[in-house]
Amino acid sequence: MLEIVPNAAIVVDNSDAVAAIVIAGGGIGMSPTYIAAPFLEHGELMPVLKDYAIDRFNITALWPESRRGNPAVKAFVAFLGEVFPAEAAWDRIFAASVVAEGIMLNCEDCRRLALKYGDKLEVRE
């Protein structure tokens, strides 16, 4: 497994902020598909670096055995299942693009990189 830790001018721990920074021209960012997909669909972002995809992270709900029958716990777990289904629309958007999960780049940045690096960079629109 190859791990790359780039020098970063901006470090945030909020996926919405990552998307906003990348859309504003802040460079390359990594965000969950459910955040990036609408921007990809509208052409504001484009996925890059598919060879450096990250593993999918699952959401796991844990609670004490004593609360197993608790209606509030059951309702919350059902809610999570609705909001984050096993196959979500945002994942289909990314799959249709045949791209890595979560890697994104502002479309204008892609154009500038393509001009600079020519045929060394694959640009999809």
47 found inside a domain = yes
49 found inside a domain = yes
Structural domain containing residue 49: 15-57+87-120
Say which residue the tokens 């249709």 belong to.
96
Residue 85, helix vs strand vs coil: coil
66 found inside a domain = no
70 found inside a domain = no
9 found inside a domain = no
73 found inside a domain = no
Q: Return the top range by mean pLDDT from 71-80, 100-109, 115-124.
A: 71-80
116 pLDDT tier (thresholds 50, 70, 90): low
The CA–CA distances, whole Å, from 68 to 11, 23, 28, 44, 75 equal: 39, 43, 43, 43, 11
For 84-101, write each residue's pLDDT tens digit: 777 766 666 666 554 444
pTM for the predicted model, two decimal places = 0.51
pLDDT of residue 124: 44
